[in-house]
Amino acid sequence: MNTASYRDVHWTSADGLALYARVYDGPGAAAPAVLCLHGLTRNCRDYEDLAPHLARRYRVVCPDLRGRGRSARDPDFKHYQPATYVADLAGLLQVLGLRRVAIVGTSLGGLLAMAMAGLTPAAVAGIVLNDVGPEIDPAGAERIRGYAGRLPPVTSWDEAIKQQRMVFGSALPNLRGAATAPMPTAARCSTPTPASARRCVRSPRRPPTCGRCMRR
């Protein structure tokens, strides 16, 4: 894990949620900016290796979408949809004084990048898409609906590895893993799904199942 320095930025959404982002200031205020957007059940820590590398040349902004990481959970599940996320991100860019950014988007983050480019093309300098494209395969979407917010809590790293292989094995047949540390005590949290709150594991390491609990 790269531990290059970043600063914590907090801002408030239009509907009053407290939201969070990591900002790597890079070489200075005149440097171009890169916005890094994580996937559906992930958070900004997914970019903790890439962001310091980019920060050698760019200002890098890695937000937690609402309901993930250190951003507040929205009690209304209907707000967990792209239009709301895009509005949140527009507020973040305004707070940071960024009028134009390149975007790295993974999965849901890539969809949000394309939405931002369609709505405000002058604000998007370019897009890197990861694990997503301009068309959504219905089979892939159905697979995600089958596990997102539905997986049971795990009590050991071995269980976590087994669960990840079950979910991602068809897409990543060479997926490997080994338990390297004790599993921390389970804690309650909620994920941004229409279902009621579920239990999962919070860990100081990158945990296996829940984007909400992957917090610093």
Neighbouring C-beta atoms of residue 58, cutoff 10 Å? 19
How far apart CA 201 and CA 130 sit, in angstroms, is 26
> Which pLDDT score, from 0 to 100, does residue 182 have?
59
Domain count across the chain = 2
Amino acid at position 93, single letter: L
Q: Do 108 and 74 share a domain, yes or no?
A: yes
**Residue 142 in domain:** no
Same domain flag for 95 and 170: no
Dist. CA 35–CA 63, nearest whole Å: 8
Residue 143 is classified by DSSP as H
Q: What is the mean pLDDT of the chain?
A: 83
Predicted pLDDT of residue 92: 98
62: β partners: 22
Q: Are residues 13 and 92 in the same domain?
A: yes
User: Which strand (E) or helix (H) includes residue 208?
Assistant: none
Residue 148 counted as domain residue: no
Q: Is the pTM of this model over 0.85?
A: no
Q: Does the residue 194 lie in any domain?
A: yes
The reply to whether 96 and 169 lie within a common domain is no
Q: What is the pLDDT of residues 49-69, one digit of tens each?
A: 999 999 999 999 999 999 999
The per-residue pLDDT for range 137-186, each reduced to its tens digit, is 788 788 778 888 788 888 898 898 888 888 877 777 776 665 555 555 54
The proportion of the chain whose per-residue pLDDT surpasses 70, expressed as a percent, equals 79
Domain residue limits at 171: 153-216
